[in-house]
Structures are given as structure tokens and as C-alpha cells.
Amino acid sequence: MKHARHRLLGAAAYLLPALLIFVVFTLYPFVLTCVQSVFTTNAKGDLIGFGGLDNYVRLFQSALYRISLKNTIVYIVLTVPGTMVLSLGMALLTSRDRKGMGIFRTIFTLTMGISVAAASMFWTFMFHPTMGLLNTAIEMFGGEKIGWLTDMDIAIVSISIVTIWMNTGYCYLILLGGLKSIDKTYYECADIAGVSGWQRLKRVTLPLLSPFLFYVLVISVVNAFQSFGVIDMMTHGGPANSTNLLVYSIYEDVFVNYNYSFAAAQGVVLFVIVTGISLFQMKIVERRVTYQ
């Protein structure tokens, strides 16, 4: 009896720091957000009256919210496959140990060390309508200038390009590590059996890499939902809300419109969406993942 209590105390001592951090910085704000979302608030953020599901009803009637939801989906559809295909391709190209491969591996992971702010600055220059490198190049080859960040249809694509550029380094590193961890006798077995090229990629490499691909997929989707920095630095959601994503919309409602409870409701909905998608990935997509 005494022994059991002793063990419990010991366990609690070890768990406490992490538990404390979780409660203070995650659980408490989350509960507060949920509470706030069913009240109305004034410009200072004080709760001034119970609103029930009013905020949620307003949310789904809001045209702007629907736009930002649509933008977010477009953004995910562009960035997640883009990042995964690009980082996988790079990892496959550099997975063999050849002379000089280290140089490429270093270059491919360099973007990991660049802050969102620096990357956004750099890409703002690249996308500059008249002086930007991209438009200068297009003009040089006789093409027509593109309004990278000013054209309503193009801006979300430009933002996606920057996001892919930013995230590829990390995903590349994960996938490269994954490729290196595959036992090379699998490849030798394929060599002897005469399974090569596309067949080998499809039947040997990708299935054995699947735990890593799954991890990259999950974090890419979550990251895309939570994307904020690039938007804030480069477009402020514009032009005409064409790059207004869910988190940026929350930010605007809090810090620009002082509409706290409405933003809280958006936060709760975002939480539900991300949780739902993650559950879907774990229940459905993960069935196709083989852990060794």
C-alpha cells in the first residue's frame, strides 16, 4: 500500500512539469476559448453576455469566413502535395552515397534555417511586379509580366510557392532519413528479381517509406491549416481576401476588429476541423502504412 503510494508520488513528480506546461499554455487557453465563443465580448475582451451558438451561426453565414475556408482548402491542395512530391523527389535523388552528395543534401536542407520573415522578404523581392527576378526573367524571354502578389487568382499560388519552398527542407530531411533507414537487402532482393525503376519505387521504396510519408503528410496538413506568418508578411490576406486563410481571419478579428468571441468561435471550428482530419488520417490513411 505504502509502496504503491510511493510510486504514484514518484510518477507525479516526473509528470508534473510537462503537465503544468500543458495545463497552463494549452488546456486553459483552449477552455477559455470555448467559453468565450458562446458569449459576446466588448472591445476589451470582457464577457458581456451569453450568446449561445450565435457566434457559430454568424460564422457559417459569413461570406468572408467561407472565402477563407475555401482559400485554406486551395492552399492545402497546392502546398501539401507540392511539398511532398518535391521533397520526396529530392530525397530519392540524393539518397545514394556518392561523392559530393553531401553538398546537395546541405543545400536542400538550408531553408530550414531561414526564418519566415527573412523568407517572406526575399520572396517579396522575387515577386516584385517590375524589379522582381521572376518578372524580369519572364520579360527577358518575351513573356508577359505576372502579378504574383497583386493578381487575385495568382496570389494564393505565389503564397503556396513560398510555403513549399519553406517546408520542403524539413520534409526532405525526414524522407531522406526514412530512405536511409530502409534495409538495403530489400533493394538487393529487387535487383536479383529484376524489379527496377518505377516498379521498384512503387512496390519496394514507397511502401517501406510509408511511415515517414505519413508523418510528413500529417504535419504538412496541420502546418497548412495553421499557416500565418507568410500571409501576414506578404499579403495581409489580400488582394481582396484572396489569400485570407483561417488563422489569418482569426488574427484579423482579434487584433483588427476586436471581435474576440467571434474569433474564439473560429478557433474552435478550426480545432474541430484539424482534429477531424487528423483522426481521418490516423484511422483511414494509416491503414496503408506498414511499420517495420
Partner 1 sequence: MIKMENIAKSYDGNTMVIRDIGLEIKKGEFFVLLGPSGCGKSTLLRMIAGLEEITAGDLWIDGRHANELLPKERNLSMVFQNYALFPHMTVRDNILFGLDARKVAKKEQDERLNKVAEIMGLAEYLKRKPAQLSGGQRQRVALARSICSQTPICLMDEPLSNLDAKLRGQMRGEIRRIQRMLGLTIVYVTHDQVEAMTMGDRIMVLNEGCVQQIGEPLTVYNDPENLQVATFIGMPQMNIFRARAEQEGLRLNGSLILRRCGGQPCPAPAEECIVGIRAEHFRRGNESTGYVLEAKAAMVEYTGDETQISFENGQGYSVVKWPGQIPAEAGEALTLGVDAEHLYFFDKDTGHRIRQDGGRSQ
Least distance from partner 1 to the Cβ atom of residue 95, Å: 18
Least distance from partner 1 to the Cβ atom of residue 178, Å: 14
Give the x-and-dash track for 191-230 against partner 1 (CB under 8 A).
xxxxxx--x---xx--xx-x--------------------
SS (H, E, C) the chain: CHHHHHHHHHHHHHHHHHHHHHHHHHHHHHHHHHHHHCEEECCCCCEEEECCCHHHHHHHHCHHHHHHHHHHHHHHHHHHHHHHHHHHHHHHHHCCCCCCHHHHHHHHHHHHHCCHHHHHHHHHHHCCCCCCHHHHHHHHCCCCCCCCCCCCCCHHHHHHHHHHHHHHHHHHHHHHHHHHHCCHHHHHHHHHHCCCHHHHHHHHHHHHHHHHHHHHHHHHHHHHHCCCHHHHHHCCCCCCCCCCCHHHHHHHHHHHCCCHHHHHHHHHHHHHHHHHHHHHHHHCHHHHCCCC
26 binds partner 1 (CB under 8 A): no
Residue of the chain from 186, 215, 228, 258 that contacts partner 1 (CB under 8 A): 186
CB hemisphere CA count around 220 (13 angstroms): 34
Least distance from partner 1 to the Cβ atom of residue 218, Å: 19
Per CB under 8 A, the segment of 186-194, 231-239, 248-256, 263-271 that binds partner 1 is 186-194
Residue of the chain from 190, 254, 273, 285 that contacts partner 1 (CB under 8 A): 190
Least distance from partner 1 to the Cβ atom of residue 286, Å: 13
Give the x-and-dash track for 110-149 against partner 1 (CB under 8 A).
----------------------------------------
Residue of the chain from 185, 256, 284, 287 that contacts partner 1 (CB under 8 A): 185
If the CB atoms of residues 160 and 210 are measured against partner 1, the closer one turns out to be: 210
Least distance from partner 1 to the Cβ atom of residue 205, Å: 11
Residues 262-291 that bind partner 1 (CB under 8 A): 290-291
Residue of the chain from 8, 20, 133, 189 that contacts partner 1 (CB under 8 A): 189
Which stretches of the chain bind partner 1, using CB under 8 A? 183, 185-186, 188-196, 199, 203-204, 207-208, 210, 290-292
